[in-house]
Amino acid sequence: MKLNGIFPPIATPFDHNGDLYKAKVRHNVEKWNQTGLSGYVVCGSTGESVMLTPDEKFQLWAWVAEYAAPEKLLLAGTGMESVRETVWLTNKAAEMGYKAAMVRTPHYYKNLLNRRDAQTLYFRAVADQVKVPIMIYNWPQATGVDIPPESVVELSEHPNVIAIKESSGSLEKVMQMIREVKPGFQVLVGSAPTLWPSFAVGAVGAVLAFANAAPYSTVTIWEAHRTRETEAALDWQNRIGRAAYLVTVKYGIPGLKYAMDLNGYYGGPARLPLLALAAEEKTEVERRMADIRN
C-alpha cells in the first residue's frame, strides 16, 4: 500500500449543541474530493478523537466512507492506551472499509511507557492482531512520549507495520529513520512548517492538519517536489509557513477550524474545554490566511 501525497486528518464537524454534524461532514468531504488529496485520516488528533465516544467514531467512519470519492484512500485513527481497545477499534474500522490505521503512541503511564521496549511491544502486539496495516503515529509535543528511531527501525521489520507519521518536526530524526528502516517502509511527516524540507530528505507523504483548510497549497508543494520544481516548492513553503504555524501550533484545533471557515470549509466549534478564538486572534488568523489557496 502506497501512502504517497497529502492526507488531512480531518476535523470533526460539530453543531452548536456539540453533536456530530452530518451535513457538514458531507460538505467538507465532497469539497476535498475535488482536490488532489490522496485520502483522509478519520478520527486523528485533529479530529478531536480523544473527545469522541466509540459510537461517534463509528458514525464518522461510516459517513466519510459514504461521501469519499472512490480513489481516496481511507485511514482510521484508532490508537488507544491499551492493545486490546486499539485492536478492537482497528478491526471495526477495517470492517467498515478502511484500508489502514494510524495508531498513536500510548502515553498515559509515561513512567512505564516512555521506553523503547514498551513502545515496541505495544505496536507489535497491535500489528499481530489487526486486519489492516498500521502506521505508527508519533506526536511527542502532545503525548510527552517520543518513540525512538531504534524502535521504528525494529518495527519496520514487522510485515503489518508499514509506515510512521512523524510529527515532531525533527528533520534529523526523519533522516535517520529513512536511512535505517527496512526498504519499503514509508516515512510520512505531520509538520506543515517543515513540509518541503521533509520531502527533500526522503519523506513520501504527509498527514497534515493544515490541509483541512488549505489542501491546494499543500498538494502544490507535494506535486512540485514530485516534479522537481524546487523553486515552486520553496515558494509555496514560504507562503504557508507562518499561517501553518499559527493555526496548528499556536492556536491548535480552534485556530484550524476558524481557518477552515475562512476558506469555505466547515470548521465550526471545537469541543469543550477547547476555547474559541478571541477577536484579536481571529484577526491574526484572517491576516495570515488571506493569500493561502483553499
Cis peptide before 183 (omega within 30 of 0): no
The region that residue 266 occupies, defined by phi over 0 for left and psi between -120 and 50 for alpha, beta otherwise, is beta
For residue 162, give the amino acid letter.
I
Please state, in angstroms and rounded to a whole number, the distance separating the CA atoms of residues 280 and 277. Answer: 8
**pLDDT in the model for residue 294:** 66
The DSSP code for 291 is T
**pLDDT in the model for residue 291:** 83
Which CATH code is given to the segment(s) 5-240?
Answer: 3.20.20.70
For residue 230 the three cell numbers come to 524546487
Confidence (pTM): 0.95
Is residue 76 within 8 A of residue 41, CB to CB? The reply is yes
Query: For residue 73, what is the enclosing H or E element?
Result: strand 73-77
**pLDDT in the model for residue 207:** 98
For residue 66 the three cell numbers come to 459514504
Please state, in angstroms and rounded to a whole number, the distance separating the CA atoms of residues 47 and 191. Answer: 16
**pLDDT in the model for residue 149:** 95
Q: Greatest CA span in the chain, whole angstroms?
A: 50
| Model confidence pLDDT, tens digit, residues 23-60 | 999 999 999 999 999 999 999 999 999 999 999 999 99
Please state, in angstroms and rounded to a whole number, the distance separating the CA atoms of residues 282 and 193. Answer: 20
Please identify which of the residues 72, 165, 173, 257 carries the catalytic annotation: 165
Listed by start position, the domains of the chain span 5-240
**From first to last of its 294 residues, what are the pLDDT tens digits of the chain?**
999 999 999 999 999 999 999 999 999 999 999 999 999 999 999 999 999 999 999 999 999 999 999 999 999 999 999 999 999 999 999 999 999 999 999 999 999 999 999 999 999 999 999 999 999 999 999 999 999 999 999 999 999 999 999 999 899 999 999 999 999 999 999 999 899 999 999 999 999 999 999 999 999 999 999 999 999 999 999 999 999 999 999 999 999 999 999 999 999 999 999 999 999 999 999 999 998 866
In the β-sheet with 134-138, what is the strand arrangement from edge to edge? 5-7, 205-207, 186-189, 161-166, 134-138, 100-104, 73-77, 39-42
For residue 111 the three cell numbers come to 513512567
**pLDDT in the model for residue 293:** 67
Cis peptide before 273 (omega within 30 of 0): yes
165 assigned to active site = yes
Please state, in angstroms and rounded to a whole number, the distance separating the CA atoms of residues 59 and 250. Answer: 30
